[in-house]
Amino acid sequence: MATAILIIAGIGMVAAVALAVADRYLSVKEDPRIGMVTAELPGANCGGCGFAGCDGYARALVAGTAPNGACAAGGDEVAKAVAKILGVEAAATERRVALVRCCGTRSEAIRVGDYNGICDCNVAAMTAGGDKGCTYGCLGYGACANVCPKGAISVHDGLAKVDKRLCIGCGKCVRACPKHIIELVPASATIHVLCANPDKGPSVRKVCGVGCMGCHLCEKNSGGKEAGHFTFQGFLAKVNYDNPPTDGAIVAKCPAKCMVEDSHFESGH
């Protein structure tokens, strides 16, 4: 009995000494700021900053290889807190949220076939470009909703919508969409053009009841070309988010009905 106790105690002593020595000579010095920065970050591990999780971003911040303000989920507050720890300037950031640039619901946009395959936009897009007549529009099989870490995207009536209050702007949906119609826009912008079809008016009308025809009325009603609230790509109007329009009256004047004020955009839940 006594021998056993002695042996165990002996092993314990040797191990304790070894551990103490290891702690003294083999310890890895880590910048304590990494832990502090990680604590400030939201911890969603969404990857929106381009690094592997919040810890990866914190390390890059401390190493000075990443710009402060890349964390879309944290926004200004986090950028300021990080700036305090690291003693750097906080770049002014604007909260950005995802926007699905399509408003062709099942009742408005023509479906040209019965798609009977796997419920995933990427697969549907590989099958004759999807079942929607408009080859640019939202297919509504929820590839974006499936990757959203916050459950901010829901699909209603064949159309994905983003809940602005829940969206953290990580951009995962932007990469998941096979039609490339999801965009990160400033959360403060209230007026959006929900169409991505740059074709001529008549061919848009053939496939969708609410497609942009490029009539330029929105531009005219918002102060003309000089005001610069809109840009045009083919026959498609795009809101210039560097200088977004604020007058809600132009929305009702859009003859194609593809322009919305914020309410639409928040109706996810």
Partner 1 sequence: MKTVKSQFKFKGGVHPDYNKELARDKAIERMPVPAELVVSMSQHLGAPAKCVVKAGDFVKRGQVIGEKNGFISVCVRAPADGKVTAVEKRLGPAGGKADAVILDTTAKEEGAGSGEQGTPILPPLDWKTATREELLKRVEEAGICGMGGAGFPSAVKLNPPPAKRCEYLILNGAECEPYLTADFRLMLERADRIRVGVEIMRKVLGGPAVRIAIEANKPEAIAAMEKAFADIEGNVEIVVLPVLYPQGSEKHQIFATVGRVVPEPPALPIDVGCVVENVGTVAAIADAVEKGEPLLERVTTVSGDAVAEPKNVLAPSGTKYADLVAFCGGEKEQPAKVISGGTMMGFAVSTLDISTTKTTSGLLLLSRKRVFQYESGPCINCGRCVRACPMNLNPAEISKAVESDDVKSAEDAHVMTCIECGACSFGCPAYRQITQLCRRAKASIRARIAAEKAKASAAAEKEKLKSQPVLPEGATRGSK
Q: Is 127 in the site for partner 1 (CB under 8 A)?
A: yes
Q: Is 50 in the site for partner 1 (CB under 8 A)?
A: no
Q: Which of 45, 105, 135, 267 binds partner 1 (CB under 8 A)?
A: 135
Question: Rounded CA gap, 251 and 187, in Å?
Answer: 18
Closer residue to partner 1 in complex, CB, 15/128: 128
- Taking CB under 8 A as the binding criterion, the range among 55-63, 112-120, 237-245, 248-256 that sits at the site for partner 1 is 112-120
Q: Which of 113, 223, 248, 255 binds partner 1 (CB under 8 A)?
A: 113
Q: Is 261 in the site for partner 1 (CB under 8 A)?
A: no
Q: Is 233 in the site for partner 1 (CB under 8 A)?
A: no
CB of 118 to partner 1, least distance (A): 5
Q: Is 128 in the site for partner 1 (CB under 8 A)?
A: yes
Residues 6+ apart with CB under 8 A from 201: 213, 214, 215, 235
CB of 47 to partner 1, least distance (A): 14
Closer residue to partner 1 in complex, CB, 132/164: 132
Closer residue to partner 1 in complex, CB, 199/219: 199
Tokens standing for 188? 């403060």
Residues 6+ apart with CB under 8 A from 47: 53, 170, 172
Compute the Cα dihedral for 94, 100, 102, 106 and give only its sign. Answer: negative
Cβ atoms of 176 and 145 within 8 Å: the answer is no
Residue 125's nearest CA partner among 204, 251, 115, 83 is 115
Q: What single-letter amino acid sits at 128?
A: A
Q: Is 243 in the site for partner 1 (CB under 8 A)?
A: no
- Taking CB under 8 A as the binding criterion, the range among 6-14, 84-92, 121-129, 216-224 that sits at the site for partner 1 is 121-129
Q: Quick count: other Cβ atoms within 10 Å of Cβ 222?
A: 21
Q: Which of 85, 88, 105, 122 binds partner 1 (CB under 8 A)?
A: 122
Alpha helix (H) ranges present in 49-142?
53-63, 75-86, 121-126
CB of 51 to partner 1, least distance (A): 14
Tokens standing for 216? 């330029």
Give the 3-state secondary structure of residue 90: coil
Q: Is 85 in the site for partner 1 (CB under 8 A)?
A: no
Tokens standing for 47? 């990857």
CB of 232 to partner 1, least distance (A): 18
Chain centroid offset of residue 44 CA: 13
Q: What does the binding site for partner 1 look like in residue numbers (CB under 8 A)?
A: 112-114, 116-118, 120, 122-123, 125-131, 135, 146
